[in-house]
Amino acid sequence: MGLLTLQADGSVDRVNRRALRLLGPGAGFGRDIVSFAAPAGRSRLRAALEAAATAEASTLDLEFHTPCGTGSRQLMLALRRDPADAGRLLAALVDVDERHRAERELRQLHDRLQCCQRAAGAGAWSCDGPASALWLSDGARDLLGDLADAATLVQLCAGFSERDERENARRSLEAARNAGAGFVFDARVRGSDGARRWLRFIAAPQPGGAGLLGCVQDVEAQVQAEQLRLAQARAEVAEREGATLHARCRDVRTALQAMLGYAHLLARDPALSASATAAARVARVEAAARELLEIVKESAAPAPAAGGAGVPRHILYIEDNAVNAELMIGLLEARAPLHVEVAASGRRGLDRALELLPDLVLVDLQLPDLPGLELLRRLKTDPRTAGLTCLAVSAEAGSAEAAAARAAGASAFLAKPLDVDALLAAVDRFVPGLEVVAG
């Protein structure tokens, strides 16, 4: 500390070494103290000298800059009238550059921390206890919105909109008060920007147990990610259950289609058709199977995509018998991604083949409007459909029928009743890239 005495007009009377070092070269007897101040502060310093000279025992502090090399040094000057000599002033000089530098650095650090907190979606808080005065950082105030006006942590938590969140916070505060421990809980809060988001409140005891230190974090993205994860997990469970249900429904449909096929054959059996009772019973079996098949269709889950397979392949089945068509569709459900369309007549089949240009055409040779062999020849002689792969399907399983089909353009011949393994092997051969649907 520099000590010096001044005359009433501000001239230096006596000065110690520290004051000489603070004021710089030229500080000595008779020099006006005002001349050491930077120009901007001289009027203030002169007014302070006059006030100290006339006041009854007063102390005045004044900060001013004194030139120091190429820069300046900020000093604090304390003035008081000398009680032993009313015409003299006692003065003390203190270098406050370091203090102001530390204060500036502290403010800069505070500003940086606030920026970091805002960028991280977080804020800090502290209190001596849940019911004591609450301090909040600027970042915490931004996150808490209107709740930032709460005087205590208890009041803040009482402002949560959801009852279960208020109760969870109350239990956490009671546990912290009773056990002297920290806590963690989440709540949805509307921030200063008006957005409602999930916040996480974290607290730990201050060193020595004197209160709580904590932070509040924006965890909206984390909560949404967790909710998405749970939704995906539920969707996967539902997909597995749906796949299982679909497989069971497919098996039931296949069995019912077989029943319908056998019922159709029995209805055409001369031995049974001679008996009205037997024919009626077969008709009832067929009707019951059709009714049950419709129920299964309505309740079945949609077929899941096989392993995320892409665009479905197309098969056109030209068949006038609805039972045979249903049976074929059921059997081909063992492959995916695959779409099967049925054309109920030969001419309709020709039109759809031209429109769809499917990956595979299955042609029943016993069509009522157009013989299957003729249909095959038309497909193969039309340049627009000549490249289509065609398979012949017929209840006439003789070698002559198979040879005629191949001569008309069929790549393979399938006999009825269908051999499931042979059918699927032919489909796998001529429509590559399909996947087996587990059943």
Tell me if 19 sits within 8 A of 12, measured CB to CB.
no
Buried b (16+ CB within 10 A) or exposed e, 179-210: eeeebebbbebebeeeeebbbbbebeeeeeee
> How far is the C-alpha of 167 from the C-alpha of 149, rounded, in Å?
20
Question: Helix 420-430 crosses helix 322-332 at what angle (to 10 degrees)?
Answer: 70
- CATH superfamily, region 114-218: PAS domain (3.30.450.20)
pLDDT of residue 138: 86
Question: What does the pLDDT average to over 389-408?
Answer: 90
Q: Which tokens hold the place of 162?
A: 């959801």
The predicted-structure confidence for 197-217, as pLDDT tens digits, reads as follows 899 999 888 877 678 888 898
The predicted-structure confidence for 334-387, as pLDDT tens digits, reads as follows 898 899 999 999 999 999 999 989 999 999 999 999 999 999 999 999 888 888
pLDDT of residue 66: 62
Peptide bond into 302 cis (omega under 30): no
Tell me if 331 sits within 8 A of 418, measured CB to CB.
yes
pLDDT of residue 299: 64
pLDDT of residue 306: 44
The predicted-structure confidence for 295-331, as pLDDT tens digits, reads as follows 776 665 454 444 444 578 999 999 999 889 988 998 9
pLDDT at 63 over 80: no
pLDDT of residue 414: 94
pLDDT at 83 over 60: yes
Mean pLDDT computed over every residue of the chain: 83
pLDDT of residue 69: 57
The helix (run of H) or strand (run of E) holding residue 92 is: strand 88-95
pLDDT at 158 over 80: yes
Percent of the chain's residues with pLDDT above 90: 25
Choose between 65 and 383: higher pLDDT: 383
pLDDT at 140 over 50: yes
Q: Could you give the count of Cα atoms lying within 13 Å of 217 in the half-sphere of its Cβ?
A: 12
> How far is the C-alpha of 410 from the C-alpha of 417, rounded, in Å?
19
N residues, the chain: 439
pLDDT of residue 308: 43
pLDDT at 433 over 70: yes
- Residue 1 neighbours by CB distance under 10 Å: 12
Q: Report the range of poorest mean pLDDT among 8-22, 91-105, 140-154, 321-335.
A: 91-105
Tell me if 410 sits within 8 A of 393, measured CB to CB.
no
Tell me if 24 sits within 8 A of 66, measured CB to CB.
yes
Question: Helix 372-381 crosses helix 399-408 at what angle (to 10 degrees)?
Answer: 30
Q: Which tokens hold the place of 196?
A: 């409602």
Nearest by Cα to 344 from 323, 359, 330 = 323
Q: Which fold has domain 2-95?
A: Beta-Lactamase (3.30.450)
Question: What does the pLDDT average to over 266-287?
Answer: 79
Tell me whether strands 335-336 and 390-394 are parallel, antiparallel or unpaired.
unpaired
Nearest by Cα to 328 from 338, 311, 340 = 340
pLDDT at 280 over 70: yes
Nearest by Cα to 215 from 310, 277, 139 = 139
pLDDT at 426 over 90: yes
CATH class in words for 309-439:
alpha beta
Give Cα 156 distance to the centre of its chain. Answer: 28
Buried b (16+ CB within 10 A) or exposed e, 115-133: eebbeebbbbbbbebbeee
Angstrom CA distances, 201 to 115, 141, 439, stand at: 19, 13, 50
Please report where in the chains the tokens 């002033």 appear, as a residue: 89
> How far is the C-alpha of 216 from the C-alpha of 120, rounded, in Å?
11
pLDDT of residue 309: 46
pTM of the model: 0.41
Q: Is 264 exposed, middle or buried (0-12, 13-18, 19+ CB in 10 A)?
A: middle
pLDDT at 257 over 80: no
pLDDT at 390 over 90: yes
